[in-house]
Amino acid sequence: MGINLFNAPFRVLGWKTVLFHLITFPIAIFYFVLTTTGIALSIGLLVVVVGFFLGYGVLWLIHGMAPVEAWFVSKLLDTPIGASLPEPSGSFTERYKKMLTSPSTWSRIFYVPLKLLMASFGFAFAVSAVSSLSLLATPFLYQQEWFDVSITSNWVIDTMGEAILAALAGLIASWILLYLSFLIGRLTAVVARVMISDPTGVVL
């Protein structure tokens, strides 16, 4: 049976998806910064030839990202996909031309910003889901001086009834956010399968 809104907190895949978002969000930022900076520098330095060689390195970086992303998707999102690197055969010019004209190169380039967008939402939902769970401790800790939970500037939880309501709200919020995190994970898996996998790729 698949994951739905009602069973998401009780399925291992739901929490593996949270872990996926927490790990891959900083990686997505890293790849986006390197890719956009590398492409911009390559284009800007074409007039002095350096950009030609830098562009080659950027393309290899983008292709090198694919097997890493495929590994995370396979292991944490339970969606086996394989992604291979370009064949290092032929002369430098032939390899460069082959990469520039390969559909997989361009799909993997466009995957980078899409991945960052999906990772941003997934990370936000995952962190919010985990942090909302902290409200479950409110009924036990609300009387402690160091424990401060304020709904608004004028509403501070200082009774058991309010503490129980806060815990219930945290549970419901975490439940929903966990499911949203899972949905973003499913979307990421589908997009990754379409944009970075290939038939010859080996599932690691």
pLDDT tens for the chain, residues 1 to 204: 567 767 777 788 888 999 999 999 999 999 999 999 999 999 888 888 888 888 888 889 898 899 999 999 999 999 998 888 777 777 888 888 888 888 888 999 999 999 999 999 999 999 998 888 777 777 676 666 656 665 555 566 667 777 788 778 788 888 899 999 999 999 999 999 999 987 655 454
Residue at 57 is within a domain = yes
Cα gap 25→118, rounded to integer Å: 9
Residue at 131 is within a domain = no
Strand partners for 156: 150
Residue at 189 is within a domain = yes
Residue 40 structural domain:
8-123+185-195
Residue at 138 is within a domain = no
Residue at 47 is within a domain = yes
Cα gap 174→162, rounded to integer Å: 18
Residue among 160, 164, 165, 169 nearest 133 (CA)? 169
Half-sphere exposure at residue 162, Cβ-oriented, CA atoms within 13 angstroms = 13
Q: Which two tokens stand for residue 173?
A: 């919020």
Residue at 37 is within a domain = yes
| Confidence at residue 155, expressed as pLDDT on a 0 to 100 scale | 62
- CB of 109 closer than 8 Å to CB of 35: yes
| Confidence at residue 94, expressed as pLDDT on a 0 to 100 scale | 84
Residue at 176 is within a domain = no
Using DSSP, state whether 152 is helix, strand or coil: strand
| Confidence at residue 24, expressed as pLDDT on a 0 to 100 scale | 94
Residue at 70 is within a domain = yes
Half-sphere exposure at residue 55, Cβ-oriented, CA atoms within 13 angstroms = 21
Q: Which long-range contacts (CB under 8 A, 24 or more apart) does 137-144 make?
A: 137/167, 138/163, 138/164, 138/166, 138/167, 138/170, 139/163, 139/164, 139/167, 142/166
Number of domain units in the chain: 1
